[in-house]
Structure 1
């Protein structure tokens, strides 16, 4: 089980996000890997205050090096069932 799958796990991960959120530092999340279940795994990059340009350049280089923009995640579709003809007459 991943830490984020439980309420306690999600709360424990927030401790890492809180300092960045309140500091005003620029941050970006970049996908870097595809897990066995097909979901993306990412890394959060944190830049210097007021230096969004460098952070975006680094994220763009990482995206290019990993060719992430060429990957397509799996699509999930719910099965479509035909409407019940009996309920249409009610």
Structure 2
């Protein structure tokens, strides 16, 4: 996956979340944060622009880690299958 393909993948994820009317809401780092589906998706949505910033600053190690977190959440929550996520990474 190149930087350009990563950015295209982020655009796809942002489109999916916006289409589902998922708000952008960063998770609280308090000990007992809600982990329901909606709160998780809102936090994932908030991560997308930060990943773009990592890419712009050439902090690719962190961008890849955060992408992995997003994709793990999306798979666990049933937004995408493993095959779909694999295709996003090609």
Fold agreement, TM-score > 0.5: no
Shorter-normalised TM range: under 0.3
In terms of fraction of residues, the more helix-rich structure is: 2
Greater CA radius of gyration, 1 or 2?
1
Give the TM-score, by structure 2 length: 0.24
In terms of fraction of residues, the more strand-rich structure is: 1
Give the TM-score, by structure 1 length: 0.24
Question: Taking CA–CA contacts closer than 8 Å with sequence separation of 6 or more, which of the two structures ends up with the larger relative contact order?
Answer: 2
